[in-house]
Structure 1
Amino acid sequence: MATKIRLQRHGAKKRPFYQVVIADERSRRDGRFIENVGYYDPTKNPAVLKLNVEKVIAWLDKGAQPTDTVNQILKKEGILEKAAQAA
């Protein structure tokens, strides 16, 4: 089972916020997920990001691949560097 770290959209029209989830790559964007590891709210200024870093690093070690957007967010927060050091 290939897993992805992806954003799951919630909120009203034109007012999105996202849950950061671990999901099977075959599941729909807003469908079934394995674990919720945080949230991201881009509508706030500055954008709000709350992640359980230990869980994200654990899933990266297990082979979960972040999507392009999540990859940019993780790089910006320095989490990918922490995961590389932990490995």
Structure 2
Amino acid sequence: MATKIRLARGGSKKRPFYRIVVADIRSPRDGRFIEKVGSYDPMLPKESEERVKLDVERIQYWLDNGAKPTDRVLRFLDAAGLVKREPRNNPKKAAPGAKAKERLEAKRLADEEAAAAPAEEAASEEAAAE
């Protein structure tokens, strides 16, 4: 059976609370799980020790038995020193798309034409004044 170590949401509206659970990958996010191995309360300050609680021994057992943590849980495990998480890099995410590039190019050309037009008018006025 393929298992994941993931978050299961609890708490009321606008007040999230998460259980860190080991679950079959086919079960729903907040549904049936095999074992609760920790909790995460995002409402607490980041410095608080109560924000993330982990049962390190059980998590290590499940990792040894092939459970795959989700990215968020992997961050918690990395902070606890259980697993090394490789930083991800997505530099193309912030790059503008094709249409945005076209708009920028059109704006740049319009700005260059507008800058060149007053210079030409000033030159023709000086020539007319002479």
Give the distance between the partners of 1:55 and 1:35, measured in 2 at CA. 9
**Which residues in structure 2 correspond to 1:1-87 (within 5 Å)?**
1-46=1-46, 48-80=51-83
> How far did residue 68 of structure 1 move?
1.1
Q: Per-residue CA shift, 1:41-85, capped at 9, x if unaligned?
A: 01101251111100000000000000111111111221215xxxx
Q: TM-score, normalised by structure 1?
A: 0.88
Q: Per-residue CA shift, 1:13-53, capped at 9, x if unaligned?
A: 11101000000000000000000011010110125111110
Q: TM-score, normalised by structure 2?
A: 0.60
AA at the equivalent of 2:61: A
Give the distance between the partners of 2:9 and 2:74, measured in 1 at CA. 17
More helix by share: 2
State the number of aligned residues.
81
Structure 1 residue ranges (4+ consecutive) displaced by more than 2 angstroms after TM superposition: none
Percent of aligned pairs with the same residue? 58
Give the distance between the partners of 1:38 and 1:58, measured in 2 at CA. 14
Q: Secondary structure at the match of 1:17?
A: strand
Superposition RMSD on alpha carbons, in Å? Answer: 1.1
Q: Which runs of 5+ in 1 are unaligned?
A: 82-87
